[in-house]
Structure 1
């Protein structure tokens, strides 16, 4: 039982890191990542013994995160994959970890934007564009910010505060 519990608790960090890496290298977050997070939530909640009212709170946070993500997508602030990842992470994190998630994600997103702006407007920019294609795209002026990386940072920082966080 401990092995199953450990394996299920590794799903969340592994998938949000995968999403971040895909977003940074391709500016896309495949739907399967968010769907896998949603699907893995149920067995993780069962193995962790999450009470039904608390599972309902997690679901409410996930729905609220989805609505917020849809608004941010409609405003052009984030991409569709980012919005789905934000919602799936919210489902796993629940309340009150969601507050840390939102704050850290916003700070990480701002820091990422500043770093990319600096890289895109520095003497290093031409050098960066001669590297791998994904690095060149990151260094290209006017290109978007792969916000999945910020969502990953926020999710990983907030996960230990979640009711689903492993207790060993």
Structure 2
């Protein structure tokens, strides 16, 4: 495959993950097309990276485990449905090698996000935020949810260099 095409496929992961984070921040939703895009592009990326079939199967296993974990967190009302789907779709791309950093950094980013929102929603800061854009003022609403897609994106982007895609596409240079 041409190196340019392979690089464009590899760039789809960060582009879609960043899009999901931004959509979640401004609307508290992650459109299905983003997670479906990640899942649909994975086989092309695996082919472009020359990923062996057993490795691809392991990536599918990681994605499936992440989907089960995401569905459990959704059932417990810890995260939204879009968050669960994004969590699984990103895990599909990251595989076993990047799974631990992905989980750890996503958890840390989620904690930092929660702390930031608590500060933003405090009686001291909230009045200042309300004069800003409506989407930002919504983040300061005390009873509002947490756009966890932001934390998932931070974890996914931080773990992506540990995925086999980065190494494979660097070898194409």
- Relative to the length of structure 2, the TM-score reads 0.95
Q: Which runs of 5+ in 2 are unaligned?
A: none
Query: Which residue of structure 1 lines up, in the alignment, with residue 161 of structure 2?
Result: 160
Contact preservation (8 Å) 2:130, 2:140 = yes
Contact preservation (8 Å) 1:57, 1:95 = yes
Query: Which residue of structure 2 lines up, in the alignment, with residue 17 of structure 1?
Result: 18
- What whole-Å deviation, never above 9, does each CA across 1:118-153 have from its counterpart, x for those lacking one? 110142211212211110110111211100000000
> How do 1:11-160 and structure 2 match up within 5 A?
11-160=12-161
Contact preservation (8 Å) 2:119, 2:125 = no
Cα RMSD of the aligned pairs, angstroms, is 0.8
Please give the alpha-carbon distance, in whole angstroms, between the structure 1 residues aligned to 2:125 and 2:87.
32
Please give the alpha-carbon distance, in whole angstroms, between the structure 1 residues aligned to 2:54 and 2:164.
12
- What whole-Å deviation, never above 9, does each CA across 1:54-94 have from its counterpart, x for those lacking one? 00110000000000000000001000000000000000000
**Greater than 4 Å deviation, 4+ residue runs:** none
Please give the alpha-carbon distance, in whole angstroms, between the structure 2 residues aligned to 1:146 and 1:122.
20
Please give the alpha-carbon distance, in whole angstroms, between the structure 1 residues aligned to 2:60 and 2:123.
44
Q: Which runs of 5+ in 1 are unaligned?
A: none
- Relative to the length of structure 1, the TM-score reads 0.98
